[in-house]
Structure 1
């Protein structure tokens, strides 16, 4: 059997309810030459039942015989893929219907080995933070640029660019040949505590240049069990974070000793960079500014209460303990330092409508209750009509102000129409419990 053009990997664990909708959404691709690899991390039978119920020949299902840490499950999942290009998404995420047809055109025309894009965001109703629930955020920009990987790494390390500028395999797509280079160098594709961010540094460096698409090809979903929400938005106090920590320790996987073990997004950036550098580009003079890293923590402490400061101070000092000069700097820096708790991260602004080339919606107002409904609504709002948008494949320049104006007016009218109807284009799919009971 010929290998498919694309493999989309969905690592999953005890999330049958969200997996069902993620699979249904991904199977609506207009391009047929792909496979979906569901790598089940030793879940209960409900996960297999979802795959069997959908019954698509596109789905490759494998269940690990024992619970694995995330790194090992991701590596197992990669070993099951056959596609020329590989992308990973979560079991509460989705791909938009034109994702693979768009990627096929971009890879063919642009001679690159990796593509990153701006994902849309959808918060499931059951998300662990009520203030974030039912949020749908869709990028409306339409431009493409080539990015120098090494320069992008430097910008990310300096804090001048977000880590999403790098070609992450998670909600991004990477040529198999490049992933095999990583595996040849390390024995595996994913090595760090943070699999996806590790891959973004390794891929950026090896690819030398990647394509950055300022438009969505996927939707990043956040649900009740989302690891990103647990770590970044609940500050490691969620049970998921504690469970993952124990599993990583059992597998011998720990943060780099130079990185403070704190609930901050820059922790995964710093740890992933140091691991990728050691594995892939050890002789490159690029380095992590450790003093600058600690300064970031001091300026925005990831704490909810002042009583947490002594533990944070101890961990920051430990991360610098190998360098007397850094310890001396730190001691002076905090002599008159007054710690202040910082607000928890939030990606949901208090906005509705179109602002700064992004569309912000309360998805529940349009009848959306799951990632499949969010995918249909997003596709319609972006103008998807059963074919790949020509601008995205043809790499058309940024829209003129007049065209952008008319597109915004069309969106506003369509939103009024859909909100009046009070539902998305298709009816909500039933939950697994409803399907089981016939409700």
Structure 2
């Protein structure tokens, strides 16, 4: 009898347990917790792996770019690429705790139709924290980066005006320009990788007296100013003709080789001259400082070339003379980068990517062009020219050699492709280091992804 209440009570508890549902929820939750935690853990592992791969990609990109620059400048030999690639990557990779060991492979391909290329590949194993419970203790991570070298064409537009004779500016510019040729030529791995043209300017530019028979020279104004009258009393065409005399223009082979600005608006464009459209032609000018040979004060323009010694000889022969017309120098710098007459830049191979640049150095403010003797009017015209050249993807560097306390040139600042491409030189001796900086910037342009 004493046991009956105990048995009865136990029976009631068992019956209640059989009917209870709370335990079912606990069991179901316990069973479901394993995959839920696995998914959350997998997401955490995956997020960390993605972060590590992003760091790997950034390090590979930077290492490949640095290698491309080294190869372009000749700083390393191709046999050093693999070792240098690993060194650069290890210095740049910031997530070594997630990927303690990454194997970097470098592949260099030279002289393809698209230029030389370098490709870096990184492979590593990410150690998981949660996914190893599901049988994935490691995740393989890889990334790659490829960079190559572009071809480059650079027009050096150099002030040869009279004020360049002061404060050692001319010899400093000559040294800087020749050093830039050496710096850029070192980037070339094959003929045609780098081309350079030279455009000396004063108020005119010298296109070479031996071009006197070319259709793109307009002798209309020259004929009116250079010749003889049937009466020696008259020394110009208008007075001769107005007095019913006969004017005979001089032989064009006596032209000294200089031209002035083209008709507007062709003065601010690189339009190829057209026979029969006089506005597109280049008006001849009998400028006394233009002659032929090394004795010429204003040296003739040198079209794009990779004859480095000849380019430097022209620079050595420069002499300061005349007034300042930056616009005509810049216009002809652009012309030398253009195919067709008058400078006939070599055609660009469609299998390559090209970068075109102009380096314009001047020591003063504009003073004279064909149309104006007012600096603000000349500057306004030059700004339009610069807008057109930059719209044609020409990168423009400008240098003002300001040793005499002149105002900082607004037009040179405006014409530079960006603020970091305008250089203000207060001492002639700074010109060399400035040109070296420009060369470094140009070497970066030669490398592209």
Q: Name the TM tier (shorter chain).
A: under 0.3
From the CA coordinates, give the structure whose radius of gyration is larger.
Answer: 2
TM-score between the two structures when normalised by the length of structure 2: 0.22
Q: Relative CO higher for 1 or 2, CA cutoff 8 Å, sep ≥ 6?
A: 1
TM-score between the two structures when normalised by the length of structure 1: 0.22
